[in-house]
Copies of this chain bind each other. A is one copy, B any other.
């Protein structure tokens, strides 16, 4: 075991689009492990769009990421030192370890570190389909959209960790699942691997009218539920095809992350179609996590919930991988392998 930890800190806040200069790699000595604490060697770091929001200082649902501190992030790893009776060396764990190789945890705090079983589910999946992204998709689909058999559910960023779960969970419930993704390769994967009924390559559509026409073709009975990861033109187009009593789960608006204006063209459609639009943050609904993780874990273990990972190698690759994620360059759940 090396005696140093390496971590990536936020060096500066982005003005508009973030860049590699906003991050810095820092070496720190490995901390002492006190009574009640556990030292975890992180195996995988999860990169997620929400991190972009934390990099800015503007008002959002969470406090901004502090400067010159390790970037926030979900991790899976293995306990390497334990001075806590609930954890043993070798335990596989999931937690919020941040962008670093080692994490010291006050393991008596409830919920900060969870032991996970890797018999049927691979460790990295606890950062994706059986982790925060999976539960995010589950919450928006089950608790907000609540699709009925025969209804049509549309999801943007369909090849991603959240979107992929949304469509597959919709299929399990007997709904028609239509994805939106960028590029023919991602769309093929969404249909052929994940089993969606259709996937629209939004890059082939330059305006709302064209995209709405494509949605009309793939959703002949209209749209009953929409899981929003993107915002902007896609939401406008979906609203033009929304059915009466349709539901929109608003999970991400990546189109506006750098401060671009992303007005909603026709809010009167919310009234005309008696729509419900609801924003949510999955970490505020911890009460549903056990139910969600049970379904997600079972579906992954039985091969019914498929996912794909985009793995960057080594901590130093994290900033570039994150910038690529914001541009949609990843293909599947973006991870960084740290070991």
Contacts and interface: CB of A to CB of B under 8 A. Distances in A.
Interface of A: 59-61, 231, 235, 244, 250-253, 256, 261-268, 270-281, 284
Q: How many copies does the complex hold?
A: 2
Nearest to A62: B272
A265 to B, nearest CB: 5
Contacts of A278: 270, 274-277
A276 B273 contact: no
A270 B266 CA distance: 15
A264 to B, nearest CB: 4
Shortest 9 CB-CB distances between A and B: which pairs? A271-B279, A264-B264, A263-B263, A264-B267, A270-B279, A253-B268, A276-B278, A277-B277, A274-B279
A251 B271 contact: yes
Contacts of A277: 270, 275-278
A252 B274 CA distance: 11
Contacts of A272: 59-61, 279
Contact of A280 (B252, B267, B274, B279): B274
Contacts of A275: 277-279
Contacts of A59: 272
Given A264-B263, A265-B263, A276-B277, A271 B253 contact: yes
Given A266-B263, A267-B231, A267-B262, A279 B284 contact: no
Given A61-B272, A270-B278, 6 more contacts: A61-B271, A231-B268, A250-B271, A253-B268, A264-B267, A275-B279
The CB with the most chain B CB atoms within 10 A, among A263, A268, A276, A277, is that of A268
Contacts of A250: 267, 270-271
Contacts of A262: 266-268
A277 B271 CA distance: 10
A273 B61 contact: yes
Contacts of A235: 267
Contacts of A266: 261-263
A55 to B, nearest CB: 15
Contacts of A60: 272
